[in-house]
Amino acid sequence: MFSANQSSARLLRTSLGRYAHALPFAAGGLLATAAVAVVAYLLWPTWGAAPSKGPDQLPVSVGGTLFNVPTAAVRMKIQRHSGPQERIDLGYEFPSLSTPEAPRHVSVEQFDEGPQPIDRIFVSIAAHHDALSPDARLRTIYPRYLDSGATSVQDGLTMRGFRAGTPYDGEDLFQAEQPPLAARCTRDAATPGMCLSERRIDGADLIFRFPRSWLSHWQDVADAMDRLTSQLHHSRG
């Protein structure tokens, strides 16, 4: 038995001696693996990829006149760039005048065939190329086609209809002095009537479009157009 124990001890010492030179390499490998794991953990990115956003405001020149337009208000993607443009179309929530949210995708199950209320005021800025100004058209062109009598609508707002057979057949002209308002509106039919109001700033015309039904609170509409004009174009004078 004593001889057998001695033989086992010799075999163990022989085995340890055979692999003793490999132990430092194994320990070094384990340490290196642990170090790489720690470095990888510390350097691994923890943020998610976010879509890039453009500027909130775009400096746009229309008809040689500078305007600052909110990027989110631009209705056509092709117009979302700074620099000279012939025309740019904008939309704002009413009455807050905030920029609208991006349109959402609607499934067939979510689609509603009923008419949706219009809650936006639309603004187009276009170069006029020396065409007749909105004020001149109001003074010299429209009176040729209007009915003689004016109807008082409410709180200083008056309405005159255009005669049948004229270029503005089926439309009415609304005017007020305080606050100033002039709008040419189609009449309600298969589709709700819409109004158009224009004003000129240097080389560009601002064309506002809104539902005729909003004229029940026309002072708010006139104020909204004044505010948008001031926001889009800051006069240095």
- Residue 146 CB burial class (10 angstroms; 0-12, 13-18, ≥19): middle
Tokens 């004593």 -> residue: 2
- DSSP helix/strand/coil, 235: coil
**For position 55, what pLDDT does the model report?**
86
Shared domain check, 17 and 74: no
- DSSP helix/strand/coil, 193: coil
Tokens 């499934």 -> residue: 107
99-104-110-112 Cα dihedral, nearest 10 degrees: 40
Find out whether 141 and 225 touch, Cβ atoms under 8 Å.
no
Q: For residue 146, is pLDDT > 70? A: yes
| 182 residue type, one letter | A
Q: For residue 230, is pLDDT > 50? A: yes
Shared domain check, 87 and 136: yes
Which domain, by its residues, includes 29?
A: 2-43
Q: For residue 237, is pLDDT > 50? A: no
Shared domain check, 178 and 71: yes
Is residue 140 a part of any domain in this protein? yes
Domain count of the fold of the chain: 2
For residue 39, give both structure tokens.
Answer: 């470095």
Is residue 227 a part of any domain in this protein? yes
Tokens 């320990």 -> residue: 27
Tens-digit pLDDT profile for residues 93-134: 999 999 988 655 545 555 455 555 689 999 999 999 999 999
Cα(38)–Cα(54) distance, integer angstroms: 37
Find out whether 119 and 93 touch, Cβ atoms under 8 Å.
yes
Is residue 51 a part of any domain in this protein? no
